[in-house]
Amino acid sequence: MTESLHTLGHFRCTSCGHIAVGISLQTAEQLVDEANAFAATTGDKRRHETSRYLSCQGCGAPAAAFVKADPAEAAATAEMQYLVAPDGFDPSL
């Protein structure tokens, strides 16, 4: 992806507590396009889909189940997953 990925803060799943980094749908689509373009150069037939960014990668709950979280809630060694920020999220908060 680009040198600096624009993120919208941290979010916590209200179902399982998983922490994710919020991104816009447009950013998710760019990530998918770039992953698929790279896979094509390696002969990998698998396709990445935008849907992977629309739900919790911990329990499968929809993005709507996420609430704003403090970055300190994420473990320092955790690999952060991206999530399309929940509908109605105000990035100015």
Q: What percent of the chain has pLDDT over 90?
A: 34
- pLDDT tens-digit series, residues 21-62: 999 899 999 999 999 999 999 988 888 888 989 999 889 999
* Long-range CB contacts for residues 71-75, cutoff 8 Å, separation at least 24: 71/9, 71/10, 73/10, 73/12, 73/19, 74/10, 74/19
Q: Does the pLDDT value for residue 1 go beyond 90? A: no
Q: What is the pLDDT of residue 3?
A: 46
pTM across the whole model: 0.77
